[in-house]
């Protein structure tokens, strides 16, 4: 069974919401928050992991706290937009210590790369030496990030009506 085939009930959704708020919550506290027994909670979380709904747990690090206060989104167009260039480009970008995430996107740009640098000079060096110097990079725009706000916990789509019949 894959993640897309999993039927989530309101308790599963509540578990996912709580784990997204705090991935280190103790099982007994998670169980209490969603109104089930701790043993049931352990089983449900294990099922959500086994089926690929929960894909892992990570620590969120403050870039500023580790000397990377300058964040930017780089929009990149590669030419030609073909797999023989795309795959090595992604490998290169993921290997850069400044890279936080890489998104292959549709539209006028091919990639959006989220980076964190130590200074504006470091960002400039990154853009000039590690991106625009590559022959496949046809265009790059730098968007400096002033502030970031995270969204709420991710819920199933479309939203499930608890009173609706199960499929």
Contact 17, 155 (CB under 8 A): yes
Q: Give the separation between CA 5 and CA 148, rounded to whole angstroms.
A: 33
Under 8 Å between Cβ of 45 and 39:
no
CATH class label, 64-144: alpha beta
Tokens 């403050």: give the residue.
62
Q: Which of 48, 96, 46 is nearest to 74 (CA)?
A: 96
* Tokens linked to 11: 């308790």
pLDDT at 47: 97
The reported pLDDT for the residue numbered 94 is 98
Per-domain residue ranges of the chain: 7-50, 64-144
pLDDT digit string, tens, across residues 104-160: 999 999 999 999 999 999 999 999 999 999 999 999 999 999 999 999 899 998 766
> Which residues on adjacent β-strands are paired with residue 78?
137
Q: Angle between the 38-50 and 27-34 helix axes, to the nearest 10 degrees?
A: 100
Q: What is the pTM of this model?
A: 0.84
The pair of three-digit structure tokens given for residue 70, joined into one six-digit string: 């300058």
- The pLDDT of residue 167 is 46
pLDDT in tens, 60-113: 999 999 999 999 999 999 999 999 999 999 999 999 999 999 999 999 999 999
Fold for 7-50, please state it: Arc Repressor Mutant, subunit A (1.10.10)
């Amino acid at each position: 069974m894959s993640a897309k085939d999993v039927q989530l009930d309101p308790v599963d959704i509540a578990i996912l919401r709580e784990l997204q708020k705090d991935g280190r919550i103790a099982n007994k506290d998670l169980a209490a928050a969603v109104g089930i027994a701790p043993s049931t909670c352990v089983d449900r979380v294990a099922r959500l992991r086994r089926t690929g709904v929960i894909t892992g747990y990570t620590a969120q690090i403050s870039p500023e706290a580790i000397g990377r206060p300058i964040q930017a989104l780089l929009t990149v167009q590669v030419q030609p937009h073909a797999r023989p260039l795309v795959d090595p480009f992604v490998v290169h970008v993921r290997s850069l210590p400044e890279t936080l995430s890489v998104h292959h996107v549709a539209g006028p740009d091919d990639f959006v790369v989220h980076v964190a640098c130590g200074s504006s000079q470091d960002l400039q060096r990154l853009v000039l030496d590690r991106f625009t110097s590559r022959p496949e990079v046809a265009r790059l725009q730098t968007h400096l990030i002033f502030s970031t706000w995270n969204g709420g916990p991710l819920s199933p789509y479309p939203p499930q009506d608890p009173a609706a019949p199960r499929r």
